A = this chain, B = another copy of it.
Amino acid sequence: MNTPHATSATGAESDARTTLASLDTPCLVVDAVRMERNIARLRERLDKLGVSFRPHLKTAKSVDVSRRVMMALHGPATVSTLLEAEIFAQAGITDLTYAVGIAPDKIARIAALRRAGVDIAVVVDSCEQAVAVAAGGDPAAPIPVLIEIDCDGHRSGVAPDDRALLIEIATALGSGGGATLRGVLTHAGESYSARAPSELEAAAEQERAAVVQAAEILRGAGFPVSVVSVGSTPTAHFAKNLDGVTEVRAGVFVFFDLVQAGIGACTVDDIALSVLTTVIGHQKAKGWTIVDAGWMAMSRDRGTASQAVDQGYGVVCDIHGRPLEDLIVIGANQEHGIIAPRGGTSGAGLDFPIGTRLRILPNHACATGAQHDRYHVVEGTGDAVVATWPRFSGW
């Protein structure tokens, strides 16, 4: 068992004796140098575009990472579950948007957070939800609401030109006194399927135009719209202009991953998250190396399967995080990963003795992170684990 971490989510630990060679495997490793570079890159972009940044904390689910990614200790930030909101609120993050359509049963937890001094906004895309929030909020301190706009058919949201529904929802929000319209929000989920910079630029413009159109419809009908929010890691990195947008949300950019590299939002050398693993066997006739990182450690995410280069369950690196040419995890059982060359060349030249430590870059940082309860932090290609950051899960 790795050294137990503090159960409070209040800070980092450091143990000068811990190295990548001494950790129990499989476990999660973050390269803080890459992470800081990824954060700085996006902040610089958004500064130039003149919009504020509301990072999504769902990727890391870590108070330690959140403090590095936010612009200030209290936020702003975005969350995907009420547990995230509650844990981050306890850590002093008080400017939050819960960016998943609100269920009526969840309003009581939102109201409790607001009573505790947290400025948390919710998202709706129907009159039923608007009525429920208006009925469930406190008229003395109404719940701020963003209307979700569907910019690309990806999942939820009102069509950006559905004037009747937009106005109906905005009107319903005013009906019970417990809600107040704060603005509009969208997520260009389809940008994850883009395959060229021109497609990504187009996705970013489509995202911007949709949410601005909805904002203008509402303003034209006399409703106040102070927040116009867009967000996805690919569009955040390819937007050319964000006129009319007030804030950008993005999450996975903090670590990046092979899906984002496949899209072109980063390179493989930007990926800050990996799983440390140990060689436990071979099938030499097949050119297979067996490691102790199976799908339980990597997650079942196979996001690169539909991309130009299928990276299997991940790209194999040496212990320092340097990719080993063409080696990927071609298959995974619960606690077994099978390493072989991409494309099924023989792998006859592979020879990692049992006990060798390797690192695997993940398809999807959000999914791989969720399989673990802590991050072991290294800096660049160094072996020293300079901190251990707790990570939480659940709802």
Q: Which residues of A contact B (CB under 8 A)?
A: 1-2, 24-27, 58, 80-83, 86, 100-106, 109, 125-126, 128-129, 132, 150, 154-156, 189, 278-283, 290, 292, 295-297, 299-302, 331, 333-336, 338, 353-355, 364, 366-367, 370-373, 393-395
Query: Quick check: B280 and A150 within 8 Å, CB to CB?
Result: no
Complex copy number for this chain:
2
Choose from B336, B370, B393 the contact partner of A100 (Cβ within 8 Å).
B336
Query: Quick check: A25 and B281 within 8 Å, CB to CB?
Result: no
| Cβ–Cβ < 8 Å partners of A301 in chain B | 295, 300
Given the known interface contacts A82-B1, A300-B299, the answer about A281 and B354 at a Cβ–Cβ threshold of 8 Å is no
Query: Quick check: A280 and B103 within 8 Å, CB to CB?
Result: yes
Query: Quick check: B372 and A283 within 8 Å, CB to CB?
Result: no
Complex Cα distance, B370 from A45, in Å, reads 37
Given the known interface contacts A128-B353, A156-B290, A156-B336, the answer about A278 and B370 at a Cβ–Cβ threshold of 8 Å is no
| Cβ–Cβ < 8 Å partners of A364 in chain B | 300
Other than A80-B296, A105-B355, A132-B354, give 9 A-B pairs with Cβ distance below 8 A.
Answer: A27-B395, A80-B335, A129-B354, A150-B283, A155-B338, A156-B290, A156-B336, A296-B370, A297-B395
Choose from B25, B132, B370 the contact partner of A395 (Cβ within 8 Å).
B25
Of A86, A280, A331, most B-chain CB atoms within 10 Å: A280
Query: Quick check: B354 and A104 within 8 Å, CB to CB?
Result: yes
With both beta carbons as reference points, the residue of chain B lying nearest to A373 in the complex is identified as: B394
A-B contact pairs, 5 of them (CB 8 A): A2-B395, A103-B279, A132-B355, A155-B336, A155-B338
| Cβ–Cβ < 8 Å partners of A154 in chain B | 333
Complex Cα distance, B132 from A382, in Å, reads 28
Given the known interface contacts A156-B336, A290-B155, A300-B300, the answer about A25 and B283 at a Cβ–Cβ threshold of 8 Å is no
